[in-house]
Structure 1
Amino acid sequence: MPDPVVLAFEGRDYRRSELDAEIASFAAVLAQRGVRPGQRVALMSSNRPEFVVALYAVWRLGASVVLISTAWKRAEVAHALALTEPAHAIGDQATLAELMPMVSLDEERAAAPAPAAVTPDADAESVLVFSSGTTGLPKAVRHTYGSFAAAISAWRTALQLTASDRMQIVTPPSHILGLLNIATVLESGGWLRLHRRFDIDTMLRHIETDRITVEMAVAPIALAIASHPALEAFDLSSLRYIMWCATPVTVSVAETVTRRTGVGWTTAYGASELPVLTCNELSGGPLDTVGRAADGVRLRVVSLEAGEPLPTGEPGEIQAQSNSMMAGYLPAEDTATVVVDGWYRTGDVGFLDDDGHLRITDRAKEMIKVRGFQVAPAEVEAVLHGHPDVSDCAVFGVPHEADGEAVVAAVAVHREVPAAELVALVGESLASYKRPAEIVFVPEIPRLPSGKVLRRVLKERHGCTSDH
């Protein structure tokens, strides 16, 4: 019977039989520690094979995993534990060990007989991930064994993954994208390389040496690829495509990569609450859309004011239904504000075109109202990204006595650029009310690991360093 290598990390390869044996062995350790079906187990681990082993060991026992980011500080981890109340903890982080008894992923473990694998009900809880938390404290998103299996199936179909595909994971495994990629590749029988952290040269080198077929890129990774001075020196011909995830595509960045490498892009759209909403054609669909509804997903666009379904072409809030939708939030009372009549409210604004492609124009909560007109930050950002000296940018609104709100652009540059030049650039392409009232030059744009801009942080910093 074939026993392929399915996982690689630094200098070690794991065959399927080796990985399965390690999962069974660790499940035995957890069972001895008292882990039982239905319990929650906190997992705070860097991106390494032991993360995968721990994840599947918990699932083998029919328990659920609470995934905690290694980037979090003590107060954030304490909040996550208080919210989810796990009975056990696993990891490689001192922060978690200080807060509750933790099984270390680095300790030597004596061999023990593997417990029989539990087959949980589809509606039993399997994993809790945390929402992005761009405002306030993060919420825990609860997925069942059934909903997460549906998400894996939809992602596998969308990516057309087979056992011959090869992927590397450079994004945090505690985030829904990293988690979903790991689980989907392994379920597809494909090959996976994990990296402790993102490094652009390491990532590009492994595309070449490992013959990676599918590469994931959130916005910071896409920017790093596009601006790499020696990009043409890497052989990226094994790639079927690069997938842009987590944020709308910055077309100028994607086109730069394609021009320099010949590799095309495709786009996908998902959320922690419903991991796979849409995916574009892998042959290269239009980059200004996030594609059509994924397998098993129903989409609709509703009025921002009345909540009534809108016809094709009219922008409103994007809503979705799917078997892969979360079971709810913790705190539970927050669920009712996001799931209404069985529809998940994404909070994103967009519209469906005549071909069923979904176009996202912005976040409902991030729309800036200037003199009654709505300004989409992404629209202004797209223009600013077109300036050759702009390395990254983010647009947000601040209170304005006369206009209601004013548009502010935080901009990171390769070399000095006059603020007036950037304001004029926006004015050439967009309506006058969309022009930034202020340009704030910053060393870098604060982003979550998913690539989402932390506009709240920019607003808090506003006024500290600026150029009018």
Structure 2
Amino acid sequence: MSEPIALVFEEREYSPAQLEALADGLAGTLARRGVRAGDRVALMSSNRPEFVVVVRAIWRLGAAVVLFSPAWKRTEAEHAMAVAAPTHAVGDHPVLAELMPMLHLDEPIDPGDGGPPPAPDPGSDAVLVFSSGTTGLPKAVRHTHASFGAAVRHWRDALELTDRDRIQITTPPSHILGLLNIVTALETGAWLRLHRRFDLDRMLHHIEADRITVEMAVAPIALAMAAHPTLESYDLSSLRYIMWGATPVTASVAETVTRRTGVGWVPAYGASELPVITCNPVKGARLDSAGRAVPGVRLRVVSLETGQPVGPGETGEIQARAESLMAGYLPAEATAQALCDGWYRTGDVGHIDADGWVRLTDRSKEMIKVRGFQVAPAEIEAVLHGHPAVADCAVFGVPDPADGEAIVAAVTPHDTVDPEELIALVGDRLASYKRPSRVVLVPEIPRLPSGKVLRRVLKERHGRASDD
């Protein structure tokens, strides 16, 4: 009986035993270069099978992998270097190679005997991943083998993944969701295709050709699917569902994809600091909710004004605690701000109803204060997304001497659209104080690979309360 395939990349296939043999061989190379248990090893890599091998090799040695985004420029990598202080580096990126001696992933890897890896110390660091940095410089999030292992179990159970599933990864593995998807698939025994980069037509082609059962998506993928002119030409019938993570669902976009393909969505919610917080049921998922807390995670909502817990249906900051919670940040002094008596402060605003359904309305740091009112950008964005000429949009606040803050909407249009028409649309649907003072038309909305909007970039570019 032939051995099952664990990982596919372009035309290359790897069995579980082959991956372990390569990881074993690379671990030997790293050990000869001086990597020891407890060390931190920087990894800056494109999407490729060697990424998976490196992570497993580093873990075989009891060292921690520090994930550098391949999208970073030198200043961002220098910041990560200063924060995490890795002693060794592996990758295929010239930025990392310029900063310290790097084992290049194009070097051939001699397989080892591929024996079972030693059991890691549960309390030792497994991975350091950098937080999104939507509001300032990114921090390194430390996960131990115990906390990340718990996140993998939570994710497998929430998505009901089994060794019969077939998934593909198009998002960067340097992001917590990409790494979580890869490790969960490998540990579940699911079949996994890794893509070099996101290409919508290749993704759709491989759903059809590989009979993918679960598609992992983030907002940019969902937007691209909804706008695809010939989406109906692809056979997506093998999909059990599409997972939407990293940002709250834009219902109109999700509904468009479902109407055109017949495939439903499973919204989920997590953070670098606590990777799996909530998930919808695979059967009976809702688009208006991030789901319920996954088993093993406890949630509460606290008042934005007093910090005290509030009741069902009341709005405040979502807080969570679980064994999958990070060990802390680097720099370490940042940790205290994120934790409150063992509860992780997500910074996300929302409410939980009496049945446990979580509704996220915005980020506490992104709430816009207009004449004393708290305005959620996501609420206005949902209205704008409903206009047929709007391809993408993002709402943010700018200082205003009269109202405290003024609302500005950045819009990427499909077609010609009058900004005044969009302002009137919001005025018709929402309270008057939620009307944008200005709509700026932009070629694209700046986003992280996860789909999170870089509002600070928009504020820097368009940070006036009104036109001159």
Q: Same fold (TM over 0.5)?
A: yes
Where do residues 212-231 of structure 1 align in structure 2 (5 Å cutoff)?
212-231=212-231
Q: CA 1:210 to 1:244, structure 2 compared with 1: closer, same or farther past 3 Å?
A: same
TM-score, scaled to structure 2: 0.98
Q: Deviations over 1:389-418 (max 9, x none)?
A: 100000000111111111100000011101
Q: 1:110 to 1:123 in 2, by over 3 A?
A: closer
Look up the match of 2:291: 291
Please state if 1:237 is matched with 2:237: yes
CA shift at 1:118, angstroms?
3.2
Q: Helix, strand or coil: the match of 2:318?
A: strand
Task: List alignment gaps of at least 5 residues for structure 1.
Answer: none
> Residue in 1 aligned with 2:204?
204
Secondary structure of the 2:6 match is strand
1:120-269 map, 5 Å: 120-269=120-269
The answer to whether the 8 Å contact 2:21/2:111 transfers is no
Find the counterpart in structure 2 of residue 376 from structure 1. 376
Give the 3-state SS of the residue equivalent to 1:224 in structure 2: helix
1:326 matched to 2:326? The reply is yes
Runs of 4+ in structure 1 deviating by more than 4 angstroms, as ranges, are 109-116, 463-468
The residue type equivalent to 2:184 in the other structure is T
Structure 1 CA distance for aligned equivalents of residues 354 and 235 of structure 2: 38
1:155-202 alpha-carbon deviations (Å, 9 max, x no partner): 000010000101110100000000000000000000110111101101
1:338-381 alpha-carbon deviations (Å, 9 max, x no partner): 01100000000111012110001111011111111111000000
Measured in 2, the distance between the counterparts of 1:432 and 1:465 equals 17
AA of the residue aligned to 2:68:
I
Q: CA deviation at 1:266?
A: 1.1
Contact 1:249 1:287 in 2 (8 A): yes
Aligned partners of 2:427 and 2:17: how far apart in 1? 60
Q: Deviations over 1:259-295 (max 9, x none)?
A: 0000001100000000000000111322110000012
More moved, 325-334 vs 111-120: 111-120
Does the aligned pair in 2 maintain the 1:439–1:466 contact within 8 Å?
no
Q: Is the 8 A contact 1:277 1:294 kept in 2?
A: yes
Q: Which residue of 1 aligns with 2:390?
A: 390
User: Cα offset for 1:464?
Assistant: 8.7
The CA distance in 2 between the partners of 1:117 and 1:34, in whole Å, is 19
Structure 2 residue aligned with 1:411: 411
Identity, % of aligned positions? 69
Q: Take 2:371 and 2:435, find their aligned partners in 1: how far apart are those partners?
A: 13
Given that 2:398 and 2:465 are in contact with CA atoms closer than 8 Å, whether structure 1 keeps it comes out as no
In structure 2, C-alpha distance between the alignment counterparts of 1:35 and 1:237, rounded to whole Å = 46
Report SS of the residue matched to 1:415. coil
- Separation of aligned partners in 2, 1:111 and 1:386: 54
> Conserved in 2, the CA contact under 8 Å of 1:150 and 1:323?
yes
Name the CA shift for 1:433/1:316 in 2 (closer, same or farther; >3 Å): same
Aligned CA-pair RMSD: 1.6
CA distance, structure 1, for counterparts of residue 385 and residue 75 of structure 2: 36
Corresponding position of 2:346: 346
SS in 1 for 2:150: helix
Amino acid corresponding to residue 164 of structure 1 in structure 2: R
Query: Residues of 2 paired with 1:136 and 1:420: CA distance?
Result: 32
Equivalent pair of 2:398/2:464 in contact (CA under 8 Å): no
State yes or no: 1:316 paired with 2:316.
Answer: yes
Structure 1 distance, partners of 2:17, 2:383, is 51
Deviation at 1:334, TM superposition (A): 0.3
CA contact (8 A) 1:176 1:272 kept: yes
Give CA-to-partner distance per residue, 1:401-453, whole Å, 9 cap, x none.
11111110000001110111101111111101101110010000000000000
- Larger mean CA deviation between 142-151 and 7-16 belongs to 7-16
1:5 is paired with a residue whose SS is coil
Return the offset for 1:120. Answer: 2.3
Q: Distance in 1 between matches of 2:459 and 2:220?
A: 20
Indicate how the Cα distance of structure 1 residues 247 and 110 shifts in structure 2: closer, same or farther if over 3 A, else same. closer
Q: Please report how far the alpha carbon of residue 108 of structure 1 lies from its aligned counterpart in structure 2 after TM superposition.
A: 2.7
In the other structure, the counterpart of 1:300 is 300
Distance 1:111 1:152 in 2: 27
Instruction: String of CA shifts for 1:64-115, please: whole Å, max 9, x gaps.
Output: 0000000001111111111111111100111111110111110134566679
Partner of 2:360: 360
Taking a change above 3 Å as real, the CA distance of residues 465 and 198 of structure 1, as seen in their structure-2 partners, is farther
> Residues of 1 paired with 2:189 and 2:2: CA distance?
11
Q: 1:467 to 1:165 in 2, by over 3 A?
A: farther
The aligned residue for residue 33 of structure 2 is: 33
SS at 2:439 equivalent: strand
1-structure distance, mates of 2:210, 2:170:
14
Q: Which moved more, 1:98-107 or 1:13-22?
A: 13-22
Structure 2 unaligned runs (5+)?
Answer: none
The equivalent residue for 1:13 is 13
The answer to whether the 8 A contact 1:441-1:467 is kept is: no
